[in-house]
Amino acid sequence: MGVIRLLDEHLANQIAAGEVVERPASVLKELIENAVDAGATTIDVTAEDGGLSSLRIVDNGSGIQPDDLRTAFQRHATSKIATGKDLFQIVTLGFRGEALPSIAAVAKVRCISASDTGGLGRLIEIEGGQIKREEDAGAPRGTDMTVKELFYNTPARLKYMRTVQTELGHLSDVVYRQALSRPDIAFTFAHNGTTLLRTQGNGDLRQVVAAIYGTAAAKAMIEVSAEHPDYAIEGLTALPVETRSNRNAVTVLVNGRYVRSPAVVQPLLQAYHTLLPINRYPLSVLSLRMHPSLVDVNVHPAKLEVRFSKETELRAFVEGAVRKALGGQAYIPSGSAVR
Ligand code: ADP
Ligand code: MG
């Protein structure tokens, strides 16, 4: 008799949750991504106590069909990819079908979703992976997801949580990046009853920057815009007067996804060259577009890193685009190995 056996689904979800759900901000990131993928034009986030007691995300996107609601909380259940080929052509923020089952395994989740405008929706409540309630419920089109008492059944993880203030900082960071990546979506973010962010959803990136970083910062930013056969870049980058001491000042978006990417940040800094004080970063939002086959998004558990297939070319393109924007030196043609 062998000793190896398959884990039951609940245990597998709890294990996956250990990777996917590090803290309240990871829950928020996944749920906002789902709202964005559902084509929402408004996303309202409310958090209590740094998201540790409660996180609620309401969107007006496509909703989940009543028959799909239970399935959406199953492991590897996704409407976003179907074949191995799709994995190399990812155009959505989510694709692994892991977020909902992982979150529901380590929290108390209530989801009401309606997929049509007829007002007929469905509700499901899951606690620690167990379905507690499922019934029809009137609801407007979209999804209303509440996650309470995160890590209530995983005391070790709960203990590791920092202060409300620290968790709130991480939540804000997630909302800010998502708002910067989608100026066409109207976001609101409230914490313990106080509204911390409201964006218009009118597509104006500079207005989103102003809402997050203040008007002075928004005014000090210049437009970046360039094209190349493989890439396009759009965004705003600050004149060297608006700098920060921290890399977080730079928001890099790749096909609409916020990522941490030295392959983009380094050439950005090189483009400023001696204009930047030492150890300072310009406030920047750079949005790169490329064919999905040129970027592997499936390399990091929280999808925060990506791998580019033509990195050297990309670096030269970014540096050239930012230099051009700063009005400094001549545009560096593609393929150049200039660092
Ligand atoms: P993934 O996003 O990788 O597909 P998730 O576990 O995050 O996996 O979600 C599972 C499925 O549930 C999604 O593929 C989608 O069909 C549906 N879903 C989740 N959240 C929403 C939402 N806010 N609006 C519409 N559908 C949603
Ligand atoms: Mg998802």
Q: Which of 21, 33, 37 to mutate to test the pocket of ligand 1 (most atoms within 8 A of CB)?
A: 37
Cβ–ligand 1 contact at 144 (below 6 Å): no
Does the pLDDT at position 1 exceed 50?
yes
Q: Is residue 121 predicted with pLDDT exceeding 90?
A: yes
* Distance in Å, CA 322 to ligand 1 centroid: 36
Pairwise CA distance, residues 2 & 82, whole Å:
33
More confident residue, 331 or 106: 106
Mean pLDDT confidence for 192-197 = 98
Residue 13: predicted pLDDT: 86
Reported as type and span, the H/E element at residue 39 is none
Q: What is the pLDDT of residues 232-256, one digit of tens each?
A: 999 999 998 888 888 889 999 999 9
Distance CA 49, CA 167 (A): 8
What count of Cα atoms within 13 Å lies in the side-chain half-sphere of residue 154?
A: 26
Q: Tokens 């899951």 identify what position? A: 126
Which tokens in the block code for residue 279?
A: 């150890």
- Say if ligand 1 is within 6 A of residue 87 CB: no
- Sorted by sequence, the CB contacts under 8 Å of residue 173 that are 6+ apart come out as 25, 248
Strand spans (E) along the chain: 42-48, 54-59, 108-114, 120-127, 130-138, 142-148, 186-191, 194-198, 221-227, 231-238, 243-244, 250-254, 257-259, 281-282, 284-290, 295-296, 307-308
DSSP 241: T
Is residue 73 within 8 Å of residue 13, measured between CB atoms? Answer: no
**Contact 157/151 with Cβ under 8 angstroms?**
yes
Q: Which of 78, 102, 144, 257 to mutate to test the pocket of ligand 1 (most atoms within 8 A of CB)?
A: 78
Q: Tell me: the pLDDT tens digits for 283-321?
A: 999 999 999 999 999 888 888 999 999 999 999 999 999
Q: Are 242 and 212 in contact (CB under 8 A)?
A: no
